Structure 1
């Protein structure tokens, strides 16, 4: 049973290695990087009532406006992307024509392209001649100021608040709850002689300060988080447990000295799956092993493990031994000892020939030999500090799972510190909330939160 748990922990870190490989060797596409509208749709528009200029960003009304359905309507070539905080576009009114019956808004698929946005179900529109907002009904409601020639008007979706918002000359004039489902297409309409507008989907700077608006929206979210009451010592205990879990003994001592409090410490051990004393196990030895691996001294790390925890490396084909042997090979490459690395790889990698699930990782290691400057190659990620950290974390977790509490039924509780478990839960909650909004809104990226300007 213990060996199975031991392998389970090692396999977890092999998968982390693969994730590290994918992030480094493939073109990383951000989850938020969806195709965005770039121009107006030359096919899905009101033929006969407008003329689209060659740039596909400007339209002029060419009808006589004799009837209510003689509207020139055109939508964007793509729907608004949804995996972000905000989507926004603008129009500039070059000519308001005889009546200024210009509209801007969003429509769903299947909209009749002979009606102003907002006049038909499944559409919203802010109109220039009366400043009214129309939301799927023929009758509008007072909303904002009128707009005419020389004005820049914008329309956006705030996915965090699930609202449409509209701007005029860089200022928000109003918001309205977004109750439309499915893909939404940015849309503009013109309805009187000589009207002419151009659209900006983001190729040129917006008049509206979109980045400031996004920062303001994120600040609102941050303020909500900061209103949540936490026990006085909770943050201290979380950091303390993190340093303890990963064996950062020296940093832990300094941290405790700097944060001594007269208040009793708050225990976060209940419900974590293992007693607090498990994290205290072999703290000095785990610190030593981490330092050796992070400095590339893998032979000495092997010697220490053989002396302190021989049961961990007695199976030389275990995941943890594989990680250590690979790191030893990598360190030889780092030191420029190519012939020694080649000889070492032939002996050690031979042991894993029958384990086809490791072929991709062995291949990455062997590929280092093919380059004069391997750090600049597709497998250069192996020479980064993050790879050493994976091996050090694997050794640390294996020691805890195999020796700290041998009666524990599930060793996976040692894979993460309490702080990491909290962050994983936070991410899961954030994604669940986004799921309830139809998978609309930006994903949770901890790095972005930590590096953001509003965090202070």
Structure 2
């Protein structure tokens, strides 16, 4: 027998479960100050080491996002030894961020030297050949932002790399590589799509079940709590 949806209103949610979900989001997004406030008011347990690691991870993500990929690489190697050595895809992506930064700064000679020294060795592996061609192709344009590879210069590309870096650091520390809140939204989205199919509605129909929203993760030096006016895209968090 199908359960009457109205019965869901009678289900009691444990405060501890709610606090756990919120804290996982704050930990993932590096919102240290907000997490400390939650811990103080809820009685959650968190160690000084966890807070310290969160601050280190936040610095790494900020460096990668703001055009200092080499600093991000150095701090990552200090915090998570062997991570980049064992994750060549991520290492390549971080190096590519620095290459792109040189291109955007019109430091073409330095970009060529960096590409030969750091990126070209990846060409020995077939899966990197096409990526290398795309990045090196940027050098052929006086205005690379107008080239067919302009997406490599975009904030979206940088955010994707930063998001992957965040997940990798967390996984290396044997922590969840995504927040519980993100997984809940992903699950709710799947349920919504299934319900829409059963009802014969377009999942994008505004009259259907409302789209759940959550603020993006945005570790920055000026904000310790998440903004609330943007939507998660494709189940992925966005650093700003």
- TM bin, normalised by shorter chain, reads 0.5 to 0.7
Residue 115 of structure 2 corresponds to 345
Q: Name the Cα RMSD after superposition.
A: 3.9
Residue 241 of structure 1 corresponds to 24
Preserved CA contact (<8 Å) 1:352 1:358 = yes
User: 1:297 Cα shift?
Assistant: 1.0
The TM-score, its normalising length taken from structure 2, stands at 0.67
Kindly provide the CA deviation profile for residues 331-371 of structure 1, in whole angstroms up to 9, marking residues without a partner as x.
11122212211222233332222322233433332232233
Assess, with a 3 A threshold, how the Cα gap between structure 1 residues 264 and 310 changes in structure 2: closer, same or farther: closer
Preserved CA contact (<8 Å) 1:243 1:252 = yes
Residue 414 of structure 1 corresponds to 176
Kindly provide the CA deviation profile for residues 62-99 of structure 1, in whole angstroms up to 9, marking residues without a partner as x.
xxxxxxxxxxxxxxxxxxxxxxxxxxxxxxxxxxxxxx
Residue 373 of structure 1 corresponds to 143
Residue 205 of structure 1 corresponds to none
Q: 1:424, 1:434 → 2: CA distance?
A: 15
Q: 1:393, 1:422 → 2: CA distance?
A: 18
Preserved CA contact (<8 Å) 1:313 1:321 = yes
Kindly provide the CA deviation profile for residues 125-146 of structure 1, in whole angstroms up to 9, marking residues without a partner as x.
xxxxxxxxxxxxxxxxxxxxxx
Please show how residues 47-62 of structure 1 align to structure 2 within 5 Å.
none
Structure with more relative contact order (C-alpha pairs < 8 Å, separation 6 or more): 2
Unaligned runs of 5+ in 1: 1-222, 268-275, 406-412
1:385 aligned to 155, 160, 167, which one? 155
Q: 1:224, 1:385 → 2: CA distance?
A: 44
1:442 aligned to 196, 200, 203, which one? 203
Q: 1:398, 1:290 → 2: CA distance?
A: 12
Total equivalences in the alignment: 207
Q: 2:115, 2:167 → 1: CA distance?
A: 26
* Counterpart secondary structure, 1:310: coil
Q: 1:376, 1:313 → 2: CA distance?
A: 32
Is 1:285–2:56 an aligned residue pair?
A: yes
Preserved CA contact (<8 Å) 1:320 1:394 = yes
Residue 40 of structure 1 corresponds to none
Residue 83 of structure 2 corresponds to 312
Q: Which has the larger radius of gyration?
A: 1
Q: 1:447, 1:366 → 2: CA distance?
A: 44
Preserved CA contact (<8 Å) 1:240 1:252 = no
Preserved CA contact (<8 Å) 2:167 2:177 = yes
Preserved CA contact (<8 Å) 1:430 1:444 = no
Please show how residues 320-359 of structure 1 align to structure 2 within 5 Å.
320-359=90-129
Residue 302 of structure 1 corresponds to 73
Is 1:396–2:172 an aligned residue pair?
A: no
Is 1:430–2:195 an aligned residue pair?
A: no
Q: 2:182, 2:211 → 1: CA distance?
A: 16
Q: 2:156, 2:125 → 1: CA distance?
A: 25
User: 1:253 Cα shift?
Assistant: 0.6
Greater share of helix: 2
The TM-score, its normalising length taken from structure 1, stands at 0.38
Assess, with a 3 A threshold, how the Cα gap between structure 1 residues 237 and 332 changes in structure 2: closer, same or farther: same
